[in-house]
Amino acid sequence: MQNMGVAFAMTPMIKSAGMDATQASELLKRHLEMFNTHPYLTGPVLGSVVKLEEEISDGRKVSDLKIALSGPYAAMGDTFFWGAWRPFLTIGAVVLTMEGGLWAPLIFLALYNPLHFYVRLQGFVEGYRRGMRGIDFIGGLNLPGLAGKIRWMSAILLGLLAMLLYRTVGNTDAVVPELLRGFLFLGVILLCFLMITRGISVMKILYGTATLFLLVSF
């Protein structure tokens, strides 16, 4: 899957190490084995792999390190970036757009990109500096813990979005008392969080909410 990218990323090290054609061929063949992890966490893997390639001559240990890191990094990256951070910012951008914020897409990019660029670049640096202990940097970020907190905030934003969509159906201010709207808002938040805890994708909840209120508005 990502083996071609890994092999290509090894070429600067091959040039700096002054390997001959045979050594370079063996190294590249070894890194063309199956490899797959979260794309934002390939940097930390590559940093650790390059460090080990420079320090030891045992290609099997390097391959074992790649395999050992790819699974946990994929799980943490999917949980945080795909399952929490991107959906949270997407919902926030939709809320801003509905309130007339035409700069919402740019705000989304301005908030989303710096974090994953930091993980990619600093992760490579720390992986190269620490070698086998490069995973300590990723572990210190506590991505699964952050994902849980962000899902709470996503549930709140989903409730707010539901209320905004509900408001567009008609003149609800005249027919729905303020206290009832508050309870409805809280109920939607709790319902969204319940669906999230049951493993339902935040993006599916977002699309489902939008579809429901669009149908009601007809």
For residue 8, is it within any domain?
no
For residue 207, is it within any domain?
yes
Phi-psi region of 100 (alpha: psi -120 to 50; beta: other; left: phi over 0): left
For residue 14, is it within any domain?
no
For residue 158, is it within any domain?
yes
How many domains are contained in the chain? 1
Mean pLDDT per block of 10 residues along the chain (218 residues) reads 90 86 88 92 92 82 88 91 90 83 89 95 93 88 89 78 65 52 67 76 74 62
Give me the domain span that covers residue 108: 36-217
For residue 85, is it within any domain?
yes
Where do the H-state alpha helices sit in 56-142?
59-77, 86-98, 104-130, 135-141
Three-state SS at 1: coil
For residue 29, is it within any domain?
no
- Length of the chain, in residues: 218
For residue 31, is it within any domain?
no
Using the Cα atoms of residue 83, residue 84, residue 89 and residue 91 in order, give the sign of their dihedral.
positive
Supply the pLDDT for residue 169.
55
For residue 69, is it within any domain?
yes
